[in-house]
Copies of this chain bind each other. A is one copy, B any other.
Amino acid sequence: MEKESSQFIADATTTQNMEGEADEESNPLNQPLLKRSRTLSSNSQAMVGAKVSYIESLDYEINENDLFKHDWRSRSKVQVLQYVFLKWTLALLVGLLTGLIATLINLAIENIAGYKLLFIVHLIEKKRFGNHFISVFYGIHLFHWGNLLLTMVAAVLCVCFAPTAAGPGIPEIKDYLNGVDTPNMFGATTLIVKIIGSIGAVSAGLDLGKEGPLVRIGSCIASLLGQGGPNNYRLKWHWLRYFNNDRDRCDLITCGASSGVCAAFRAPVGGVLFSLEEVATWWRSALLWRTFFSTAVVVVVLRAFIQICNSGECGLFGSGGLVMFDVRNVTIKYHVLDIVPVAVIGIIGGVLGSLYNYCLHKVLRLYNLINQKGRIHKLLLSLTVSLFTSACQYGLPFLVNCRPCDSSLSETECPTNGRSGNFKQFNCPDGYYNDLATLLLTTNDDAVRNIFSTNTPYEYQTSSLLIFFALYCILGLFTFGIAVPSGLFLPIILMGSGYGRLLGLAMGSYSNIDQGLFAVLGAASLMAGSMRMSVSLCVIFLELTNNLLLLPITMIVLLIAKTVGDSFNPSIYEIILHLKGLPFLDAHPEPWMRDLTVDDGVVPPLGIATEATEAHGIILRAHLLQALKKKWFLREKRRTEEWEVREKFNWVDLAEREGNIEVAVTSDEMDMYIDLHPLTNTTPYRVLESMSVAKAMVLFRQVGLRHLLIVPKYVAAGVSPVVGILTRQDLIPYNILTAFPHLARTTGGEKGN
């Protein structure tokens, strides 16, 4: 697995180089300067949205230079209060806006998809009565064309305006919060494309969720709010300067991601835990609390809208409360022996989940090859998938037999012809229903609701469930990689619930557990088997289904599925991160990193002349650029005073992170001096050259560094005071193994977590 994906990256890079498509963010200054071997840093480019970008690391280190120190002292109590107030206001706004946009998306999807489905139902009804064959034929065409059009909107937007908006976005957020600043991740364009694209793609009936996109939307909102608006039209509000640093921006984005999950699943605690378990790298108790505040706001907004919509003012949106798939009124009876089917679900979920990861990896590699051929190929791929999906959704229900309605159900309950409803009439005579149509010809949310339905042991026949499961396995693999905003949650839930319900049907009377609960457990197990989360998934399922008594068996299923899955391959997010070439720094050093010392891969920094005997500190490129831009030049070689510096710079300037700027330096100025001492971080973290890479990595990751100075063990005259500088790229296991291939052979031990 490892080997294959690395090959892929090599392929992608080569293709890229052959095409010579220069990226507008490419940045020659950011080329690695300090490495002995080129190999170690050949991967400083990430594949985001099939476009290679140069990336920078985020800065968490306390930058101790004279200027910042002074500014810290001069920050008054009022300013601290402003900062705290703004921090909470932004958390409130993030929650509010995410809630509003989520409602908007829900409304749009339910209405578009709803009217589309009503139209189909209407057509089928006509057909059942045996007339108007030709109009039916045209109608079906119209249905397919409608779906194609919706997909087209989503795909065109993604392809042309925001390639980074395709896909789920959770891996990228995870990587950002790990400290990697990938460009164009959280822009206004991405936000708008995500919203419209998500509406289009989900309404088109594709096997996609709005969950992943909502997480990204939440993060985009947070990022935009924090910087005061889109890049070119920023609000120049004085107070916002406090948020012009990587730490506060990361905090806000964490709030945004949690709000997104909360809005997607209506699961406030689950949202917070999701961020904690899956997304965030550093976590503080204070952040937990602020994140929680954001999700609380989201829930209040959602609840308010649901109340408004319950009075029927939102078109087809309206049914359902805060809990999405309510199985609350089921009395759950199970005893100790039921642990056997539960364990079986877990094991199968783990196996299927890792198999899904494996296959999806292959499909994504294939898709990447197709997508690199150009925009038209991307578009065509999306449209093909859309066409296949709608053909299956409409065609397959004709294959199964109609089933008679249970006599205990009233006529309004079975069969139904409305948009939702658990017993779809479709092509059946009165008193009969088509169980496959119930699952396929509906929105994804309703499909989940229908397959989770409890106390309906005879509703579905085995053949229908088999078709459903097989179809969603295929769709789940082939839909994810297309160029529209897509989430992984819903496809996996659909697949998992299919196999869970099948298992429940097979168990029959051997188990006390309801078939609907089998479906719920199946969905949970597949998610754990593929995404490898535990606590957050458990809470999300708890909040989705509102039944606390399910908790113990859900926990067991999740634990088993995750354990089984982990023994085969990494989680789907890790696979995607690796596919995109994003340098994610893991929490645990690999065992073989203990055998490698930090000086093994670095040479002295170029910036230090050989006769240098002192390391004064390090200076950020952005600050150097500022010094050049502001022409901070001196006629004589002298140490500047604090007031001089403060006249020229303030910390708001220095917090800016600009790209390259053109500075015209006259020949006169070329002879002048520049005093960097006020801008120099005089106390960078430093390690001895004899320290193992494992130990250095613990420091690097725990403190959130960008640069780590390596100092020699014995200082003597003529010896450079700095042996080298470690960066994120030097600590990525893949990069080290590329430079030291012999280590790869000795690996294989487990990480000592």
A residues with CB within 8 A of B = 62, 64, 69, 72-73, 75, 77, 80-81, 83-84, 268-269, 272-273, 276-277, 283-286, 288-289, 292-293, 295-296, 299-300, 303-304, 307, 321-323, 328, 335-336, 534-535, 538-539, 542-543, 546, 548-549, 551-552, 555-556, 559, 562, 587-588, 591, 594-595, 614, 682-683, 685-688, 690-692, 694-695, 698-699, 702-703, 714-715, 748-750, 752-753
Contact = CB atoms under 8 A, between A and B. Distances in A.
Nearest to A594: B72
A273 B714 CA distance: 47
A336 B62 contact: no
A691 B61 CA distance: 12
A43 to B, nearest CB: 24
Contacts of A682: 688, 690
Contacts of A83: 752
Nearest to A721: B715
A269 B535 contact: yes
Contact of A683 (B283, B300, B321, B692): B692
A676 to B, nearest CB: 16
A535 B272 contact: yes
Given A64-B691, A687-B685, A694-B62, A335 B323 contact: no
Nearest to A597: B683
A292 B336 contact: no
Contacts of A749: 75, 77, 80
Given A748-B77, A753-B284, A753-B286, A299 B692 contact: no
A292 B548 contact: no
A307 B300 CA distance: 38
Nearest to A323: B548
Nearest to A549: B322
A535 B683 contact: no
A80 B285 CA distance: 33
A673 B215 CA distance: 64
Given A304-B336, A539-B539, A685 B699 contact: yes
Contacts of A72: 591, 594
B683 A84 contact: no
Nearest to A552: B299
A551 B268 contact: yes
B80 A750 contact: yes
A284 to B, nearest CB: 6
A80 B753 CA distance: 11
A699 B703 contact: yes
A292 B715 CA distance: 49
A193 to B, nearest CB: 31
Contacts of A283: 283
Contacts of A534: 288-289, 292
B698 A691 contact: no
A587 B285 contact: yes
A691 B699 contact: no
A690 B683 contact: yes
17 contacts: A62-B594, A75-B749, A268-B555, A273-B273, A284-B753, A286-B587, A288-B534, A288-B535, A292-B535, A296-B556, A299-B555, A321-B549, A322-B549, A323-B548, A546-B548, A683-B690, A683-B691
A293 B335 contact: no
A687 B683 contact: yes
A300 B552 CA distance: 7
A175 B347 CA distance: 39
B289 A562 contact: yes
Contacts of A269: 269, 535, 538-539, 542, 551
Given A77-B748, A683-B688, 5 more contacts: A62-B695, A72-B594, A269-B551, A683-B695, A699-B699
A645 B715 CA distance: 29
A745 to B, nearest CB: 14
B284 A595 contact: no
Contacts of A614: 714
Contacts of A273: 273
A699 B534 CA distance: 30
Contacts of A587: 284-286
Contacts of A695: 62, 64, 683
A750 B84 contact: yes
Given A72-B594, A77-B749, A284-B587, A698 B62 contact: yes
Contacts of A284: 587-588, 753
A431 to B, nearest CB: 35
Given A548-B323, A683-B687, A293 B559 contact: yes
A109 B339 CA distance: 31
A297 to B, nearest CB: 9
B296 A288 contact: no
A269 B539 CA distance: 8
A321 to B, nearest CB: 8
Contacts of A75: 749
Contacts of A295: 555
Closest 10 CB pairs of A and B: A286-B753, A683-B691, A296-B555, A702-B702, A715-B715, A546-B548, A62-B695, A299-B552, A289-B534, A683-B688
A335 B698 CA distance: 50
Contacts of A286: 587-588, 753
Most buried by B among A72, A304, A588, A614: A72
Nearest to A284: B587
A715 B720 CA distance: 12
A81 to B, nearest CB: 8
Nearest to A289: B534
Nearest to A696: B683
A543 B269 CA distance: 12
